[in-house]
Amino acid sequence: MLRVTLRGADLPTATLGTGERLLFGRSPHQGLRTEDPDRALDVTVLELPRCAPHVSRLLGELEIGEEIARLRWHGAGETQVASLFDAPGGARRVTLVEGMSLLLDEGENHLVVMRGRELGPDDFDDLTIVVDVATPGDDAAARVSVAASGIDRDSSATAPSPGLVAHSREWYVALALAEPWLVGTDDYPRPPTNREIYERVLRWHGYAWNLERSQRVDDAIKAISSLAFSLRDDPFRSTNGRASNVRFAVGRRTAEVRLVTADDLVRVEQAVRDRAAQVSPRPGPEA
């Protein structure tokens, strides 16, 4: 038998046992509309407060078995799950994508929905949900039920996630800055310099605006940072840390929240090859 507790900032705590399920998200009542009526009797629905409009109405589904707790992810945004388990290193971090199923480790599992919590107009913070999987003892806490009222308080369609304008100056700078994480070399010893960013953008686009001026690269990175982080967590608003550490953090975060993606990098590299093929001289007739 298992006991699973879901909690987080501003969230009512929900505790479930074997044989029960939990739907959670911005407006998870949508998920009940396709439920089998008999199966829906064992479903608890939890509406997450202060969700950003780009958070999916149904984020996830927890199903509690006799010995395992399974998370099925329905959200379309960027989410990570971090947990501790009995293995060398003692931790794992998984990036969730829509349609993924995951067996949760015993103990605390932290779900982090990137920029999922709305702090104010155009200001978003990460939404952290803690899922605690435990084998209950004699002193198990009573279950706190969140009733499925069937009332959808926010049935509006999910808004697009805040992002950069594709092929803009900031978009290319973000691509250059996040490149180590996009290609899987996140052990890169240092973030790219302003000169390296300028050279990458010039190669990809053929025109680098005014990025040969170092201040213009810095300005672009600050704009990217303000979009990738909340106002509270923006490293450029903090006096702590060296500039190189700030740039490293912005590059990693830019890849995590998918302001640019590995597919974007593939496309710009292909564009470079296509341009080179167009200007390459054709071989002359054989002598």
pLDDT > 70: percent of the chain: 77
Fold of domain 3-134: Tumour Suppressor Smad4 (2.60.200)
Predicted confidence at residue 140, as pLDDT, reads 39
Residue 9 has pLDDT above 80, yes or no: no
Residue 284 has pLDDT above 60, yes or no: no
Rg, C-alpha atoms of the chain:
23
Predicted confidence at residue 38, as pLDDT, reads 54
Query: For residue 63, which of 24, 95, 37 has the smallest C-alpha distance?
Result: 24
pLDDT in tens, 27-57: 888 666 655 555 555 788 888 888 888 888 8
Query: Which sequence spans correspond to the domains of the chain?
Result: 3-134, 169-279
d(Cα 28, Cα 72) in Å, to the nearest integer? Answer: 13
SS (H, E, C) the chain: CCEEEEEECCCCCEEEECCCEEEEECCHHHHHHHCCCCHHHHEEEEECCCECCCCCCCCEEEEECCCCEEEEECCCCCEEEEECCCCCCCCEEEEECCCCEEECCCEEEEEEEEEEEEEECCEEEEEEEEEEEECCCCCCCCCCCCCCCCCCCCCCCCCCCCCCCCCCHHHHHHHHHHHHHHCCCCCCCCCCCHHHHHHHHHHHHCCCCCCCCHHHHHHHHHHHHHHHCCCCCCHHHCCCCCHHHHHHHHHHHHHHCCCCCHHHHHHHHHHHHHHHHHHCCCCCCCC
210 vs 140, higher pLDDT: 210
| β-strands 123-134, 3-8 pairing | antiparallel
Residue 26 has pLDDT above 60, yes or no: yes
CB atoms within 10 A of CB 157: 7
pLDDT in tens, 192-233: 899 999 999 999 998 888 899 999 999 999 989 988 887 778
10 vs 166, higher pLDDT: 166
Residue 280 has pLDDT above 70, yes or no: no
pLDDT in tens, 64-116: 988 889 999 998 877 888 875 544 444 567 888 888 888 888 888 888 888 88
d(Cα 127, Cα 17) in Å, to the nearest integer? Answer: 24
Residue 156 has pLDDT above 80, yes or no: no
Token representation of residue 164:
């950069």
| β-strands 92-96, 101-103 pairing | unpaired
